[in-house]
């Protein structure tokens, strides 16, 4: 009995030590990664815009410089005559909980002058690190299993063991990305159980989205940083009405990408010109339209506080 007790204590202590070591390594990797991004930003003496979203923000299927944030950079540089940099954390396939958990760090590290949000489409099926457990009634039969899974996922040791079990060839790279604090990826296509869970609990996911995006908007405002909210070109969750309600409640500009693209989806020829076959991800020309509309709002409302600055009269 005494031997068993000592063995259990040794195992527990070993797990705790390993957990601490993994977290310390992750902190080091995170600081190194973000310090490199910040150094590049400071070298250019940029006015920084933080653009938060998923694959439609990162520019899936197009070259990186053709995504809407990168085209927005070029437009604003020409308009104001000084470097404007967009920072887009990698969130392909991610949910707003992952952005929410890292938002304070983004604000501290990158010190943006403006934040643009177009996010939430993945929430109902991308469950890694999701806060949905806090928005589901305890009587919901889905609640117990979900909360157990999400609680275990907070442990670096558990995640390392899970990655090693399911992907012996790629676990080292996956572990490095996870330890660095980057958002975890959800498999695509999403598991059937994720889709079914999201379908059953859309009301809870909508409440989660409104809370997390609203909190990020409030956090930015408390630091004197304005925000813009954008609807998707052609996604239906969160619904447009939810974007309208949140923008009105927070009194921030709303860019209606859905209205801009709706006529272009009326015919197959037009849809093919502006969208890839999934009709959710724009082509370069579609992202150019989005960049132009965001730039218009930024200029009209002087959200970068560069009023009077032009290419021929740059700010000092």
Question: Both tokens of residue 123?
Answer: 């929430």
54's tokens: 């998923």
Residues paired with 66 in a beta bridge: none
Spatial CB neighbours of 53, under 8 Å, sequence gap ≥ 6: 88, 91, 117, 118, 119
What pLDDT shows up at residue 71? 98
pLDDT of residue 167: 53
Q: How many CA atoms lie within 13 A of 185 on its CB side?
A: 11
Query: Tens digit of pLDDT for each residue in 270-292?
Result: 999 999 999 999 999 999 999 99
Beta strands in the chain (DSSP E): 47-53, 84-87, 114-118, 227-230, 254-255
Confidence (pLDDT) at 93: 75
Residue 171 has a pLDDT of 46
Domain ranges, ordered by start, for the chain: 20-153+179-301
pTM, full prediction: 0.81
DSSP secondary structure letters along 168-203: TTTHHHHHHHHHTTPPPPPPSSPPHHHHHHHHHTHH
* CATH class (in words) of the domain with range 20-153+179-301: alpha beta
DSSP designation for 124:
T
Residue 131 CA to residue 137 CA, distance in Å, equals 13
The residue count for the chain: 316
Q: Tens digit of pLDDT for each residue in 212-263?
A: 999 999 999 999 999 999 999 999 999 999 999 999 999 999 999 999 999 9
pLDDT of residue 185: 53
Element (H, E) at 28: helix 2-43
Q: What is the pLDDT along the chain (316 residues), one digit of tens a residue?
A: 777 777 777 777 877 777 777 677 766 766 676 666 667 666 667 899 999 999 999 999 999 999 999 999 999 999 999 999 999 987 677 899 999 999 999 999 999 999 999 999 999 998 888 898 888 876 666 666 666 766 676 677 776 666 565 554 554 555 444 444 455 555 667 777 788 888 889 999 999 999 999 999 999 999 999 999 999 999 999 999 999 999 999 999 999 999 999 999 999 999 999 999 999 999 999 999 999 999 999 999 999 998 765 544 544 4
91 in Cβ contact with 98 (< 8 Å): yes
**Which pLDDT belongs to residue 40?**
62
């Amino acid at each position: 009995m005494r031997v068993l007790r000592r063995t259990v204590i040794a195992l527990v202590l070993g797990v705790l030590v390993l957990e601490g070591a993994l977290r310390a390594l992750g902190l080091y990797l995170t600081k190194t990664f973000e310090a490199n991004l910040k150094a590049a930003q400071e070298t250019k003496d940029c006015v920084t815009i933080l653009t938060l979203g998923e694959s439609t923000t990162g520019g899936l299927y197009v070259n990186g410089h053709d995504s809407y944030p990168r085209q927005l950079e070029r437009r604003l540089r020409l308009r104001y005559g000084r470097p404007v940099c967009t920072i887009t954390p990698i969130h392909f396939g991610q949910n707003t909980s992952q952005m929410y958990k890292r938002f304070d760090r983004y604000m501290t590290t990158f010190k943006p002058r403006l934040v643009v949000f177009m996010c939430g489409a993945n929430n109902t099926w991308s469950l890694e690190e999701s806060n949905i457990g806090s928005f589901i009634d305890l009587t919901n039969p889905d609640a117990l299993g979900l909360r157990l899974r999400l609680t275990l996922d907070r442990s670096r040791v558990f995640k390392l063991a899970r990655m090693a079990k399911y992907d012996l060839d790629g676990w080292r790279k996956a572990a490095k990305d996870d330890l660095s604090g980057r958002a975890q990826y959800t498999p695509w296509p999403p598991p059937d159980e994720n889709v079914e869970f999201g379908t059953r609990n859309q009301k809870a996911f909508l409440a989660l989205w409104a809370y997390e995006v609203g909190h990020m908007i409030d956090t930015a405002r408390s630091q004197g940083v304005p925000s813009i909210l954008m609807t998707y070109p052609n996604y239906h969750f969160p619904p447009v009405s939810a974007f309208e309600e949140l923008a009105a409640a927070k009194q921030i500009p709303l860019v209606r990408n859905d209205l801009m693209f709706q006529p272009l989806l009326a015919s197959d020829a037009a849809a093919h010109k502006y969208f890839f076959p999934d009709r959710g991800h724009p082509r370069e020309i579609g992202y150019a339209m989005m960049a132009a509309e965001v730039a218009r709002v930024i200029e009209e409302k002087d959200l970068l506080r560069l009023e009077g600055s032009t290419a021929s009269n740059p700010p000092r």
